[in-house]
Each structure stands twice: as C-alpha cells, then as structure tokens.
Structure 1
Amino acid sequence: MPVRDEAWPPGTPCWVDCQVDDPAKAGEFYAALFDWDVRGGGEDAGGYLMAFRGGQPVAGIGPKPEVGVPSVWTTYFAVPDADASAAAVTAAGGRMLVPPFDVMEFGRMFVAADVSGAPFAIWEARAHNGAAVHNEHGAYTWSDLHTGAYAEAKAFYASVFGFTYAEFDDPAMRYATLIPPDRTEPVGGINDDSANGAAPEQPYWLTWFQFDGLDDGLRRAAELGATVLLPAQDGPFGRMAILAAPQGELFALLDPSKTMGKMPAPQD
C-alpha cells in the first residue's frame, strides 16, 4: 500500500472531498463501496467526516456550504503558500469562491473557480498533508477537468501552477495531461468536452477512484443506489466508468490493470 507521510509537491492534487446534504448517508455509501472507515462529524469539525483505509486518510465528506447547491466532489491542489496562489488565481482570470482561511492547525485553503467556471480548491499543508493512501483499490487515483473552454483552461492552469501538457493525438478525443514544473509524470488532465459536442453547462473537476474489478464495482454501486452514467469501457488509462452517487455527486472508477491504447506524448 503506497502511503505518503509528507506534503505533496506543488501543483499535485493532494486531497478530495465531497459536499452533500447528508454526510452521514454519503459516508455509509462510500464505506460500503470502497471499504472505508469513516470517522468524525462532530460539531468541532463542522460536521466534516474523514475516510480512512488501513488507518490512513483517503478523502473527506462534509456538508454543503449552503442549501440548494449541487452535491460535488472537490479536487485540492497542493501549494506551499495559499495566499500567493490566491493572487495567482485572480491574476490569471479566476475568481475566489471562498477566500483563504485557516483550517484549525491542519492547513490553509481556499476555493476558487477557474476561467471556465470550474470550482477547485487549494491546500497549504500543515498538520494534514492530504491523502496518505493513493493509487490503490478504494483510494483516489486521478482528477480531470471537463470543460468546453479547453485552450483557456490550459492557459489558466499553466499560469497558476506552471503546468506543461502532454496531449492525445486522437480524433475521438481532445485531452491533455498536466505536468508540474521539474517533473515528468502527469498529475491530472483536461478534457475538451466540446470536441464531442457535449460541453457541460457547468465545467467541473471529476474525481477518479481506483477499483480493481471495475464491473463488479459497478454492480455493487448500483445495489447501493448509485446511477451509472458512463458504462464500463476500456481506454488508454484503464477500464473506466462514471457514476452519480445517491445524493447526485459525480465520481469515476478506474481499473488501471486494463490499460489499452497509447499514452500522450509531451507537446512541443
């Protein structure tokens, strides 16, 4: 089991959490699907729940910031200085949804929208580094942005995080992976949903969890009340599917053992 015990490198998705109407019910759903141990939810934590695998944190589940907003999964990017990153976001054309604030002794964060309107979060680690368990069954493994403003989003994230991109040369899809400065491995992706004529009205970051034996996972998710939006299919990263949980938040499953096709090459 890969376990991380230090802060994630800058620009890396380091944490995911969902905001729902009923965190306790969501905790029951994800615990049954991913074999998570879900704890917390007290008043001192604002009703926020932490999910663990093998005693290590994997994700969070919390209440919505206000009534009536959609249930969502949020991707957090690691940074060394949240306030400096907030300035970079606004300079690049993004906007603050929740300005920087301290999360007790655990870290400092903010929530913003990129130039296409997709929400994301920033995490400056202190006592809490983010996900300690990753890239294994039942844990976070990937995040990608779904937007119709592909070029604008690439320019925005390059400005904020210094990303370069590796692109798929495929007429069936337009997709770029995010590569932080001084690194060669991608940490996430941007999907041009306008390429297939299905750009979302509200752009969003999609959270992917690894699930070994994905078809069994889809059957189990359906038994627990989830809706399969994109049936299982094989792709360049593995066998994948997209679902809506019982409270409506989108998430995706990936079985990386079923990889097919070619990976993208760095762009010139």
Structure 2
Amino acid sequence: MAQDDRGAFIWYELMTDDIDAARRFYGDVVGWSIAAEGQPIPTGTTYRMITRSDGGNAGGLLELTDAMKARGAKPGWVGYIHHPNVDAALATITAAGGTIHMPPMDMPDVGRMAMVADGQGAAFYVMTPSPPADQPDARSDVFDIEKAQHFRWNELWTTDQKAAVALYCELFGWTQDGAMPMGEMGDYFFIHNNGVGIGAVGKAQPGGEGSRWQYFAGVDNIDRAAEAVTATGGKLLGEPQQIPGGEYSVYAHDPAGATIGLVGPR
C-alpha cells in the first residue's frame, strides 16, 4: 500500500464467542455475509471474513476461545490503522504511556501488526499491510464516509482528549479541526486524515465504559436497521438521532454484547 495510506483505517475486526448470532445479526442489520466456516490461524483460534453484498471485504471475525476470555478478552470491535513502520509506531505509543497488548507479528501475505492501547486505555491495532503480489498498489476500501455496508465513522471516547489528540496526530499524521459542543459532555473534536473527516474524539463520561474506540457501519435505512437489531437479539442503546448532514445514527449491542454504531438515511 502507498505511503500516503498512513493513518487510514484499513480493517475492522469483530471478536465474538457467538458466531451464529453474529452471522444473523450483521446479515440482517447491515447486509454483510460472514463465512460459515472459520480458517485456523496461528494464535490457535479461527478467523472468518466479513463481506459486503458487492463482494468486497468489510472486515473479519475472530472467534473468542475460552482461554482468550479467561485472559480478559470480551466481544467487541477493534480497528486496524495503517502505519508504515510498526516498530517505530510502538516506540511512539509506549513513550506516550501506551501499552503493547500483542507484540509485533508477521503474517505471510497479510502484513506486520501489533495490538496496542493508547495512554488512556483505548485499544487498536497498528499495521503495515502486505498488498497482493499482483496488486502492489491495492488499497483497503472497508472505510468510506458515504457508503452503506462500509464503516463510515471512527469515534474515540477518552479520559484525556488533549493527550489522545496529540498522540494520534503524531502517530498517524491526523489533524484535529473543528468541534461540536455537546453540553455537559464537553466538546466533540473532529479528526481528519489527508483532509477527510474520519471521526471524532469525545470525553469519556464518569460511570461509562471508559476510554475506547467505537465504530459506525453504514446502513441503507436507519429505521429498517434499528428494527432488525431487536429482531435478531440485539439491543438498541437509544433511538436514532439526526446528525449533521441530515442522516441518522444510533448505537446498538449485538447479541454477544459488542457495541456497533449504525448510520444511514431515514
């Protein structure tokens, strides 16, 4: 992938212990297909691809084993962010008080990656992907600010917005420009990569889930998707709310408890 892909969200991964429920939920809510059979991976579990109806990839599903859950793993989504040098990225992260959860590893035909947390505890992967040999300039399209069945927004809730913005801007070359006042919740700071608004940084609220990344998947119709959430065993965390630009968004829990944001028209 090209050097200017630094800072791009290039993959999203669902960790879950209920594969069948995930296949039903995300199929009906978003329109994705999740492979019925998982492929064994070196970490001792299985991996399934998540695909869009146009045949492209939306991300992957990592099956949580009992051993992984015993070590504290729980259902949730994790994003992968492109960096041209994983080891240099880790040095920057640890210098800022971050943690390495999974040391760098090389996966043939996939790339080099590490799982980390920033200084406030929000987890993500940093990755230098290996493009297909016959497509050296290939780029990920799992993120798109407009399209259904793509991820459309990346939201960081953190206990220290200033420190988080400083780290991610240094690490990935992002810029912070503009903010939306949210009353007692403070300002919601918009972040950009190569001039494109990719998400925002909000203040983690007392009594909430702490510092974490949350992601929004695009849907074709927010009301249809919201109905599908409850019909497939998930839970809506509120009602769809209109956002700048005229579309609507809502948070939901899938049947295993993983949080997913949904965004789309009414």
Pick which of 69-78 and 82-91 moved more. 82-91
**2:28–2:225 Cα contact (<8 Å) kept:** no
Segments of 5+ residues of structure 2 without an aligned counterpart are 133-138
> Is 2:249 the counterpart of 1:253?
no
Give 1:89's aligned residue: 93
1:132 Cα deviation after fit:
4.7
Q: How far apart in 1 are the matches of 2:169 and 2:143? A: 27
Distance 1:137 1:110, change over 3 A: same
Mapping for residues 1-268 of structure 1, pairs under 5 Å: 9-39=5-35, 40-44=37-41, 46-53=45-52, 54-64=54-64, 66-68=68-70, 69-127=73-131, 129-132=139-142, 134=144, 135-172=146-183, 173-180=186-193, 183-194=194-205, 198=206, 200-236=208-244, 238-255=247-264, 257=265
RMSD of equivalent CA atoms: 2.4
Does the residue aligned with 2:149 lie in a helix, a strand or coil?
coil
**Preserved contact between residue 6 and residue 173 of structure 2 (Cα < 8 Å):** no
Counterpart of 2:27 in 1: which secondary structure?
helix
Question: Secondary structure of 2:57's partner?
Answer: strand
Amino acid across the alignment from 2:212: Y
Secondary structure of the 1:35 match is: coil
Q: Read off the aligned partner of 2:59 and give its amino acid letter.
A: A
Gaps of 5+ in 1: 259-268
Q: TM-score, structure 1 length as denominator?
A: 0.83
Q: 1:26 to 1:131 in 2, by over 3 A?
A: farther
Shift of 1:164: 2.0
Of 212-221 and 64-73, more deviation after overlay is shown by 64-73
**Aligned-partner Cα distance in 2 for 1:93–1:232:** 36
C-alpha displacement at 1:109, in angstroms?
A: 0.9
TM-score by length of 2: 0.84
**Identity percentage of aligned residues:** 23
Change (3 A) 1:199 1:11: farther
Quick one: structure 1 residues 6 and 222, their matched pair in 2 at CA, closer, same or farther if it must change by over 3 Å? farther
Structure 1: distance between partners of 2:8 and 2:191: 9
